[in-house]
Structures are given as C-alpha cells and as structure tokens.
Structure 1
Amino acid sequence: MRQVPMLAALALTASLVAGAASAAVTPPKVSITDYAQLKTPLPYPYDEAAKADADVAKAKARAKAAHKILIIDLGGNWCGDCRILAATMDLPEMKTWVARHFELVTVDVGRFDKNLQIPARYGVTSRLEGVPALLMVDPATDKLLNKDTVASLADARHMSPQALADWLATWAN
C-alpha cells in the first residue's frame, strides 16, 4: 500500500524538477515597467507575530496537494526590496499567475535574528546573503530546489518588474 504514495511522490518530484529546469512556463506580461508605478504605500508583507513553522507546514501541505512549488519568502517589513517584491507580486496579473503556479508563504526573519530555523531546515545555515530570500521547495520531497539562487531577488529594486516575473517563471511548473 505504500508504493502508490511513493510512486506519486516520485512522479510529482520529477515533474517539479523538470518544470524548474525547462522554464517552459511563460511568465505573465507585467503591467508596469518601473517600480515607481507601484501603488503606494508599499505593503508590509511579513506578519511579525506569525507562527512561522506552522505557516510553512500548512503551505507545504497545500502545495503538495495542488502539485505546486512552495515559495518560502524570507524577509522583513523594514526591507525595501521585500516590499517591492510583495507589491509586484500583488499586481493583478502577477497575483493570478503566482497563485496558479506556486504556493507562497511569507516568513519574517526580523533583522536576521528570527525564524532562522526555516532556512536551516533546507540547508541554508550561514547568514542569509540578503532579503528577500526565496526558497523554492519541492513539497513532495521537502527539498530546496534553488540552493544557489536563494538571494537572487535580494536586490529586487534593481531588476525590472518583468525581469522579476521572468525569474519566477524559471521555477514554475
């Protein structure tokens, strides 16, 4: 009886890895060309009182059930790049597209002194190189898919909104 769930998990893992590697998913066409066009004030996306472990566990279960990649967005409300990322992902075209391809959970890491057990669980044990730090996780195996690109969006304000969408598309399935 355990073979069916194991085969299903292997199939999901293969499809998630193939999706991340092939980048066959077309990113949405972002409606803005500059972050100055974002609605202000920018959001404060991180709930500082949240129970991070429980939130991640629930999001992982939803991602696994829906066959989506789990994005764990590590950051802090003090971080301009984090707020720009959140506002960009909140654009209608991005919000719909992200919801179709990913399960997103935000985790407040304070000033790099809070909830660090979350990245440590995925092998990120040294100080985060910056935030936002996105962990792209295969929910079937609970494995980090982007060990070398966790901090790719830590300088989000110097990317174009479309470049941000294009980066996310490389992980979509």
Structure 2
Amino acid sequence: MLRPVRADRADRRTTSPRSTAPLGRRLPLVAAAVVAAGLTAACGPSSEPAGSAAAATAGQSSQAFPSESATASAEASPTASASPSASASPSSSSSPTPSRAPSGSTSSAGGSAKPARTSAAPAPAKVPGPGYDSSADAQKLIDAALRSAKADGRMVLLDFGANWCGNCKAADKVFAQSQTAGILGASYHLVKVDIGGNSSANSALLRKYSPSGGTYTMPVLVVVSPSGTVRTDTHVTGNPSLTSEGINSFLRKWAS
C-alpha cells in the first residue's frame, strides 16, 4: 500500500515542473495584452482585423474599464452640444437687412423713378380795386410793398393818379380784367397813390420816384425793384396805350 503512494508523489514531482513552466510563460503575454487593450481604448479603435487576438483582447479590456470611455464621452458631449448653437448664431446674424428706398423717389413697375414734386407757386399778390384812397398812408403802403417784394422777388408798381382823371379810370378798367389782373398778381405789388387832392405827402412821393418834374400826365406808372431802384417811369417814357394789349405788354416787359 505504501509503494503506490510514493509513486504518486514521484509522479507529481515530475509533472509539476512541466505544468508550471508553460503557465509562467503565458503570464507575460496576458499582461502585454492588457496593456495593449488600454492603449487601444485611449487612442481609438484598432486598425487590426476583427478576428485578430489583439482586437479580441481589446474588447475584453474595454469592458473591464468602462469608466475611462464614459469620462471621455462626457467630456466630449459639451463640445458637441455647443457646436450647433455656435453654427446657428452666424446664420441668424448674417441674414440680409432689407434696404429702404430713398424717401424722395418712388420706383415704378418699370424701374424708373418718379420725378420729385416741385414747390407750389406763391399765392398771387392782392390787386387793389379801382380808384384812389386819399386817406391812405401811401408811404406805409409803399414800404410794405417793398418788404413783400424782397421776400418773393416781385416788382412794385406805383400808380399815381386821381379819381377825376379819365385816363386813370380807363387804366383801372384794364387792371380789373382777368388777364391783366393775373399778370399783376403774379409779378407785381400794386400801390395806388392819390395825387389829385391837396396831399403834400403824396406829392412828395411823386417827386421822389419821378424827379424829372414839370407837368405830369396821369396816370404816372413807376416800376420799382425790390431794392427800391426805379426801373421805368412813364412820366419820362410816356404812357402805353390804355388798352389790355398796351398795358399787358408794358407789365410783361418790366416784370423781370
């Protein structure tokens, strides 16, 4: 009975060195595979074929260390979520701003711009009625007419006459006609001065604007510029014919 047991022990002593020697050689290989798997998980997927032993070992090692891959994905996720907002902001800011058309011009369907409106013509000046007002302050009326002439560029027409003068009445009839009244209102400020009475002030105004003296043939028509300069004096040149054609021609000639 004792001999078989010794033989068993002898067999174990002979076989145990043989079995431990291959195990010692396999341990470095397993350690190398674990290190390779860690490098694969850190640097990215392996370029080895799917059936190789290195890929299989890497798969086992990645399952053994899930914390590193989860940390890497958690660190990468904020960057990925922030990238859409960063890409969306330029598109919203780069949207074209509609241009406004100039307020002074309006384009038509054909693309041409409508011309700007011109300013309205000034209102015609007031034309006094027939006759001469002996009670009026002629100097104030002339001063007001000159101020208005400086403002609108019209001429001042001084009409020296008398209510008993037949030629003055003929001129008044022409002044009342629509065509002549239109010329007067557009181009003149008319001031009528009575020289048929005993007004020394009005007689002085006649001599001021018609200083040639002598016997005056009424009506005396004097055209004065806005600056107060006499342009024409009918006491010197003679009156035009007291018709619409004569007076209108006279008014048009000295209107500018």
SS in 1 for 2:190: strand
What runs of 5+ residues in structure 1 fail to find an aligned partner? Answer: 1-42
Distance 1:112 1:54, change over 3 A: same
| Cα root mean square deviation, aligned | 2.3
Q: Percent identity?
A: 24
Q: Matches of residues 49-60 of structure 1 in structure 2 within 5 Å?
A: 49-60=135-146
Displacement, 1:126? 1.2
Q: Give the aligned partner of residue 170 of structure 2.
A: 84
Q: Give the aligned partner of residue 193 of structure 2.
A: 107
Q: Give the aligned partner of residue 158 of structure 2.
A: 72
Distance 1:85 1:53, change over 3 A: same
Asked if 1:166 is matched to 2:256, the reply is no
Distance 1:108 1:148, change over 3 A: closer
What letter corresponds to residue 74 of structure 1 in structure 2? F
- Following TM superposition, the consecutive aligned residue runs of length 4 or more in structure 1 with deviations greater than 3 angstroms are 111-114, 147-151
Q: Give the aligned partner of residue 223 of structure 2.
A: 136
Structure with bigger gyration radius: 2
Displacement, 1:95? 0.8
Q: Note the alpha carbon deviations across 1:12-63, whole angstroms, 9 max, x for none.
A: xxxxxxxxxxxxxxxxxxxxxxxxxxxxxxx742001111111111111112
Aligned residues: 127
Partners of 1:151 and 1:133 in 2: CA distance: 10
Partners of 1:150 and 1:79 in 2: CA distance: 19
SS in 2 for 1:130: coil
Distance 1:144 1:112, change over 3 A: farther
What letter corresponds to residue 172 of structure 1 in structure 2? A
Higher relative contact order (CA 8 A, sep 6+): 1
Q: Which structure dedicates a bigger proportion of its chain to helix?
A: 2
- Indicate conservation of the 8 Å contact 2:158/2:221, yes or no: yes
Partners of 1:151 and 1:80 in 2: CA distance: 20
Distance 1:148 1:95, change over 3 A: closer
What runs of 5+ residues in structure 2 fail to find an aligned partner? Answer: 1-128
Partners of 1:88 and 1:69 in 2: CA distance: 19
